[in-house]
Amino acid sequence: MGIQISLLEASDHIGWDAFVNDHQQGTFCHLVGWKTVIEQGAGQQCPYLVAKQDGEIVGVLPLTVKKHFLFGKALISNMFCVYGGALTADETVAVTLYEHAWSFAQDHQLPVLELRADVPEAVKDASWDTATGSATFNRQLAATDDEQLLMIPRKQRAVVRKSLKNNLSTNWVGDTDTFYDLYARSVLALGTPVFPKKLFAALASVFGDAVQVQLTLGPDGRPVASLMSFYFNQTVMPYYAGGSAFVRPLGAHDFMYYNLMLHARERGCSIFDFGRSKVDSGPYKFKKNWGFEPTPLHYCSRIAPGAAQPNLSQQAGPFATLSKVWKKLPLGVSKILGPPLARHLG
């Protein structure tokens, strides 16, 4: 029997995650729970595709529909995620899944199929574009606390040592309300609309212990930094971070990430995935300072004739203008106006 492609049904949820967990390229971003998180937390449609052969799952492709007059229309794998694309048993299944995804995009007037992954050469033709402006950072965790500290290059290690003397502490069961307030402050300073609060609540609810909210407390016991991390197999991925005005003076982010490395090892993790950053950006340089080497990411998009990717750069274009104005908003106003916009920016 040939390959059968269908939209994900509830009866396939367990099989989907089993396939992702067993696949060599499987990531937290491929888990089926993201469908619920994105639909409930951001109000987007997620037409996840499943490939089967002889009744067995041989491929999965998470997809999200984005439609916005300013930020464009696209079918994305996967929205709000740094990784995506199809996971398949072989290249033939991948080609079939991508062709079905493109057909879905055309049927729903979506001019762009954006994959946060590379695609097989057998798929690519002149309609595909590859973006190479971002990198990811992965590194093995050390066997002991002392070795973990020594893995950090000398200058950054000195910064971490200094933060360890600032009477900071960690709350490993932080609440999403406190996290969200600190996160909203940080993205406002960057000129970026904040994601809906219900998106983070859905992440915590859907994924349970695989999502951890970490709060770094200042000398007075008040939260000064926050971090939402994801756990998948033996990998920990710090994902959403925020902080107050005291973050830099106290070295709270340095303290926070170092303590996560130690804590993740205690939870059985062996890999620290520092996530995606744009090449030569501040976060990119910050991660290199920790001794992480960048691995280039190749994001591929198939674009309909006459169409183009929307310009979402904060350096030029309409989003750059929005960013400059956004930084001037009061925090409370940004929390009201941000989510309706940001749910299209994941």
* 109-119 residue pLDDT tens: 999 999 999 88
Class of domain 142-269 as given by CATH: alpha beta
Q: Find the DSSP H helices in 76-152.
A: 91-107, 145-151
pLDDT over 70 (residue 318): no
- In order of 195, 274, 294, the CA distances from 285 in angstroms are 25, 12, 10
User: pTM of the predicted model, to two decimals?
Assistant: 0.94
- Choose the weakest-confidence range: 271-280, 315-324, 325-334: 315-324
Same fold, 4-134+298-309 and 142-269: yes
The predicted model gives 296-322 an average pLDDT of 78
Q: Strand pairing partners for 56?
A: 53
Sequence ranges of the domains in the chain:
4-134+298-309, 142-269
Cβ contact 75:105 at 8 Å: yes
Segments in 108-234 forming alpha helices (H): 145-151, 154-163, 176-189, 197-207
Distance CA 2, CA 232 (A): 32
Could you tell me the sign of the dihedral formed by the alpha carbons of 324, 214, 205, 49, in that order? Answer: positive
Q: How far apart are CA 192 and CA 171, in angstroms?
A: 27
Residues β-bridged to residue 114: 76, 301
**What is d(CA 263, CA 207) in angstroms, rounded to the nearest whole number?**
19
Average pLDDT, the chain: 93
Residue 269 CB-density burial (10 A; 0-12 exposed, 13-18 middle, 19+ buried): buried
Taking alpha carbons only, the member of 195, 189, 226 closest to residue 314 is 189
Q: Which of 243, 255, 241, 280 lies closest to 163 in space, CA to CA?
A: 255
Please give the Cα distance from 193 to 170 (Å, whole number).
27
The pLDDT-based confidence of 306 (bands split at 50, 70, 90) is confident
Decide: 279 and 134 in contact? Cβ < 8 Å: yes
Residues 278-299 have a mean pLDDT of 93
Q: Cis before residue 171, ω within 30 degrees of 0?
A: no
Which residues partner with 294 through β-bridges?
137
What is the rounded distance in angstroms from the CA atom of residue 225 to the CA atom of residue 222? 9
CA distance 178 to 189: 17
Task: Say how far apart CA 226 and CA 256 lie, in whole Å.
Answer: 8
CA atoms within 13 A on the CB side of 140: 4
Residue 329 has pLDDT above 80, yes or no: yes
Q: What does the alpha-carbon distance between residue 169 and residue 187 come to, in Å, rounded to a whole number?
A: 23
For position 152, what pLDDT does the model report? 97
Residue 41 near residue 202 (C-beta atoms within 8 A): yes
pLDDT, residue 132, reads: 84
Classified by CATH at the fold level, domain 4-134+298-309 comes out as Aminopeptidase (3.40.630)
Instruction: Please give the Cα distance from 178 to 173 (Å, whole number).
Output: 11
Count of helices and strands (H, E) across the chain: 12, 14
Range 327-341 average pLDDT:
92
Structure tokens at 80: 């709000």
pLDDT tens digit sequence for 130-172? 888 899 999 999 999 999 999 999 999 999 999 999 999 999 9
Please name which of 239, 244, 226, 222 lies closest in space to residue 174, comparing C-alpha atoms: 226
